[in-house]
Amino acid sequence: MFCSLRTVRRLCLDKILLQCVLQSRTLSGADAINALRPFYFAVHPDFFGQHPKEREVNENSLKRLNGYLENLQKPGFRSFKPTQLTFYVREREPNSSNVQESFSASGFRAVSFTLHTRDLLSTVLDILNSCSLSTEHVQSLNVSSQPHKEAKSTVNRPIKWDKTYYSFTGFKDPEEELEQAQRVETTLLSWLDYNEASAVKKLKKSLPLRKELERLKIELSHELQLSDIRWQRSWGIAHRCSQLHSLGRLVQQRPEVLENVKGRTVVFTDRSGMSAAGHIMLGTMDVHHHWTKIFERLPNYYKLQKRLLLLEDRISQLLGGIQVIYIEELQPLLTLEEYFELLNSFYNKLRDSRLPFHPRSLRGLQMILESDRYAPSLHEFGHFMIPTVCDPAALQWFIFAKAQEARENLKRKEEMMITEKELISTSTERFSLDRLYKEPSVSSAQMIDCCKRLLEESLPYLQGMHLCVSHFYSVLQDGDLCIPWNWKN
């Protein structure tokens, strides 16, 4: 079916007028942030401090979302690609019919949705609706006289343009673009080709700061005789340098309070204290006064740590010699006091139950304690994951039933870690990478699979780059390339 030139001209004029009307209703950047407050509250990484996997996913998804929102506000920016995001939501709400939703082991709601809108209002409303959050407050901003129905994405817009309009004018059909993007998955090569220039530019810009960070870290580690300096979250290089400068100033102003840090690891995180792993935690939002108090309390922390180790030994004796361990990457971030209370409660429960474990019958096995589970399980790396509320009789049966499998998994873990280390080294050399690393939520098995497949490819884009194996594609603010471990070819 063909339409006349007059008809096409009228359609073009109608579209221009419609765009003018929509533009008059566009949210400002400040309005968008204000409208998304309920969403930020529901997904903010700070509320997931004791759940590292969910926190990491939300942290990285927020970075990608912020990039999408920034692009929407750039004048004349037209190159939009549908962006799929996943967030863990703190509170369970009624499920939305058009959103993929699942629940993590910790009980948080995982919401996945794709952004493909080209104006702030539609994007804000799509985000809120996807997470089953109210949109009533958006109407009070006086940016639209109609609810979401008029400001929806191009697929559900009130006017459906005839295909001949796009054929005649040469404009791209947004419906067709979206359908094509949804049919074709992002491939590693296409993504690298599209993002290489941006990553190289950011990496070059960050190089002076990277050198400064390394210098500060070496100097402070040497001066304080620290075992290591780490960061719990993926802050940018500039942010990390600022934190080390703050610590350096404290060393100059109050050197006497840092006499007890020898051999310890300092971790910059969201709160100050000592972690369950025995690391000194410095809250990045705290001032020097708070840090000073933590350093002054170190002797007391060391005493509590000795009591904690003794408590772990007592639990081990009651459970046939199984070793109680704490794994930072897999467990919630707990303070020393919180972890001691967890162990003490579990110990009292075991002691009262008097389980008949033969002494040393479970030597060589490992277990971790968890407060957010209700049933025991066996990790792929061979350690038992035991809930503090687990029934002692059920615990005994589970450990006996899974003991042999646990020993096999522990042996396989050692072999897997050696293989992973070798593949990272080989891949780094093969592609001339400056650095190859993975996010904590990526398992060794996933990293091994990723590296093996990478080594089958020719990837000139990676020379001199920093490559992070993650669960999604992203270019970090300092030029690091993030790729999903299960990337598509």
DSSP string, 322-334: PEE---TTTS---
Residues 120 and 256 in one domain: no
Residues 286 and 410 in one domain: yes
Q: Is 269 helix (H, G, I), strand (E, B) or coil?
A: strand
| 110 domain-assigned | yes
| 366 domain-assigned | yes
Model confidence at 331, pLDDT cuts 50, 70, 90, reads confident
Q: Is 438 helix (H, G, I), strand (E, B) or coil?
A: strand
Contact, 439 vs 469, CB < 8 A?
yes
Q: What is the pLDDT of residues 127-161, one digit of tens each?
A: 888 887 877 777 666 664 343 443 344 444 445 66
Q: Which residues contact 2 (CB under 8 A, 6 or more apart)?
A: 164
Residues 271 and 398 in one domain: yes
51 vs 400, more confident: 400
Q: What is the pLDDT of residues 9-38, one digit of tens each?
A: 555 545 554 454 444 445 677 778 778 888
Range among 78-87, 276-285, 418-427, 436-445 rated most confident: 418-427
Residues 268 and 394 in one domain: yes
| 466 domain-assigned | no
The secondary structure of the chain in percent helix, strand, coil, rounded to multiples of 5, reads 50, 15, 35
Helix axes 237-253, 188-224, angle to 10 degrees: 0
| 36 domain-assigned | yes
Contact, 431 vs 457, CB < 8 A?
no
Residues 113 and 226 in one domain: no
| 247 domain-assigned | yes
Residues 111 and 218 in one domain: no
Q: Using CA atoms, how far apart are residues 222 and 244, in angstroms rounded to an integer?
A: 13
| 429 domain-assigned | no
Mean pLDDT confidence for 446-459: 94
In the listed set 415, 431, 450, which residue is the last one of a domain according to the structure? 415
β-pairing, 384-387 with 466-470? unpaired
* Whole-number pLDDT of residue 381: 87
Range scoring the smallest mean pLDDT among 228-237, 396-405, 462-471: 228-237
| 31 domain-assigned | yes
Range scoring the smallest mean pLDDT among 82-91, 199-208, 289-298, 337-346: 82-91
Model confidence at 46, pLDDT cuts 50, 70, 90, reads low
| 150 domain-assigned | no
Smallest CA-to-CA distance from 129 within 93, 81, 175, 181 is with 93
Q: Which residues contact 298 (CB under 8 A, 6 or more apart)?
A: 260, 261, 274, 280
* Whole-number pLDDT of residue 102: 47
Count of beta carbons in the 10 Å neighbourhood of residue 267: 19
Residues 86 and 231 in one domain: no
45 vs 101, more confident: 45
* Whole-number pLDDT of residue 75: 64
Q: What is the pLDDT of residues 426-436, one digit of tens each?
A: 999 999 999 99
Residues 117 and 256 in one domain: no
DSSP string, 20-52: HHHHHTPPPHHHHHHHTHHHHHHH-GGGGTT-H
In the listed set 364, 392, 415, which residue is the last one of a domain according to the structure? 415
Residues 56 and 199 in one domain: no
Domain count, the chain: 2
Range among 182-186, 331-335, 371-375, 463-467 rated most confident: 463-467
Domain extent at residue 81: 26-92+103-137
In the listed set 384, 415, 446, which residue is the last one of a domain according to the structure? 415
Q: What is the pLDDT of residues 264-277, one digit of tens each?
A: 999 998 889 999 99
Mean pLDDT confidence for 95-113: 56
Contact, 336 vs 304, CB < 8 A?
yes
Mean pLDDT confidence for 330-343: 89
Quote the longest CA-to-CA distance of the chain: 92
